[in-house]
Structure 1
Amino acid sequence: MSDTATVSPMHTGICVSDLQQSEQFYSQALGFTADVKMDGLGEPLDHLLELPGQTVDVCQLQLGGMRIELVKTSGGATGSSGRRPMNQRGLTHLTFQVTGIEEVMERVKANGGQVHMETWIDSAFGKIVFCTDPDGTRIELMQAPG
């Protein structure tokens, strides 16, 4: 028997201001499928999240091997809904490889997100552009060259 500890990825949590809108965005714009929903989670989760007395609504979605957890707290979301600078500490963006990048960009816009065309490049890595979800989380779309 090994005494080596292991680590496996589970999910990435994203704080959202409107759970239904964000679930629609990630499902309709990017193709995620919701498979776990929990509402009104309180103790002891409020202690874990360092939000005493608040409840949490959660929607977990999956796409391929990626799982995200949308989290809405009863106290509401705080902070800016604008794009975070790429040099600000912490998670900067989620990246998705796509085919038909223009179609995906249209789905992003149709489902409450924004496409930031000022970031568009057509490079040796392919076509790349940053978008944001309805709460300003930065999303990179990459289409391989060719």
Structure 2
Amino acid sequence: MSTPTFSHIGLCVTDIDRSVNFYVQGLGFELGQGYEIGAPFHIVMDLPDTLHLKSQFVQKDGVQLELLQYFAPETLGPAERRPMNQLGLTHLSVRVEAIEPVIERVVAHGGQVHRETYVDAGPGGEFVYCTDPDGIRVELMRLNG
């Protein structure tokens, strides 16, 4: 019997170059493999056979994100942060040594910082949420110790 192993997390984005810039330049991910995808992958994705998308992997600390820009069919849904209590993926989390320098890079590379979410937990550290260019929530956390 084979034991499953973790592979990656897929994120649908509206502009793959902008998202690569955010994750690589803004959050320090490394660029991985990229692909152009169409049929027969429409079958596993449960999409029409007109499927055309670009896939770009980025990685950090053993975790891979697959950024997916759909050309056909077009991307659906709002590009805004979702409520934390909505079913599904709620956020990605990145540990940082200092919050402010990363906030500056996030903003410089197309992200938005939600300062109203900032929490100074004293001996626990600091926490704040930002969003990537498509509204995907990313937690920045500086832990003490």
What's the TM-score, normalizing by structure 1? 0.93
CA deviation after TM superposition for structure 1 residue 44, in Å: 1.1
Distance in 2, matches of 1:77 and 1:42, equals 15
Instruction: Count the aligned residue pairs.
Output: 142
The match for 1:50 is 46
**Alignment equivalent of 2:23, drawn from 23, 26, 35:** 26
**Alignment equivalent of 1:8, drawn from 5, 8, 19:** 5
Contact 1:13 1:70 in 2 (8 A): yes
Contact 1:83 1:138 in 2 (8 A): yes
The match for 2:14 is 17
Contact 1:56 1:73 in 2 (8 A): yes
The match for 2:104 is 106
The gaps in structure 1 that reach 5 residues or longer are: none
Distance in 2, matches of 1:51 and 1:103, equals 41
2:43 partner amino acid: H
The gaps in structure 2 that reach 5 residues or longer are: none
What's the TM-score, normalizing by structure 2? 0.94
Contact 1:16 1:72 in 2 (8 A): yes
The match for 1:65 is 62
Over the aligned positions, Cα root-mean-square deviation in angstroms equals: 1.1
Distance in 1, matches of 2:43 and 2:21, equals 29
**TM-superposition CA deviations, 1:34-72 (whole Å, max 9, x none):** 110112x11111121122112110000111111100001
Residue identity (%): 44
